[in-house]
Amino acid sequence: MLSYKLKSFVNHSYLPTMESPYHLIAESLETLGENFLEYENKFIYHGYIVKELSYLNMKQLKDIGITKLGHCIRILVALGLCII
């Protein structure tokens, strides 16, 4: 079994690799648009991996620093989640 360790978050320069469980976050965000990639480090810093994203809600997105309402809604809708 592979052991995954996060690389340094100094200057928010973490780059996920294909060996990490986090690389799919960038791919998932990119499907929403290139400007959504700015949130990749927020998800990774707070320990989310792709399979956990379906448990998110509006408050949690705000808590991790995604404050643009339209972006929050698009993320939740893309995950198939109810936004009401």
Q: In CATH, what number is assigned to the domain containing residue 70? A: 1.10.150
Structural domain total, the chain: 1
Note the pTM of the prediction, 2 decimals: 0.69
Domain range for 27 is 19-78
- pLDDT of residue 10 exceeding 50: no
48 against 13, higher pLDDT? 48
| Alpha-carbon span 14 to 78, nearest angstrom | 25
| Alpha-carbon span 25 to 21, nearest angstrom | 9
Own/partner long-range contacts of 63-67 (Cβ < 8 Å, ≥24 apart): 65/39, 66/39, 66/42
Contact 14, 7 (CB under 8 A): yes
Percent of the chain with pLDDT over 70: 69
Is residue 8 included in any domain, yes or no? Answer: no
45 against 12, higher pLDDT? 45
